[in-house]
Amino acid sequence: MEIKQIDSKTKGSFIIEESGLEAGRLTYYWEGNNKFIIDHTEINPEFRGKNIGKQLVIAAVNFARETNVKIVALCPFAKSVFDKTNEIRDILI
What does each of the 93 residues of the chain score in pLDDT, given as a tens digit? 889 999 998 999 999 999 889 999 999 999 999 999 999 999 999 999 999 999 999 999 999 999 999 999 999 999 999 999 999 999 999
Is the separation of the CB atoms in 42 and 24 below 8 Å?
yes
Look up the CATH number of the domain holding residue 75. Answer: 3.40.630.30
Torsion of CA 24, 32, 63, 72, to 10 degrees: -60
Structural domain boundaries, residue 87: 2-91
Structurally, how many domains does the chain consist of?
1
Is the separation of the CB atoms in 14 and 56 below 8 Å?
yes
pTM of the predicted model as reported, rounded to 2 decimal places: 0.95
- The residue among 35, 34, 79, 87 whose CA lies nearest residue 57 is 79
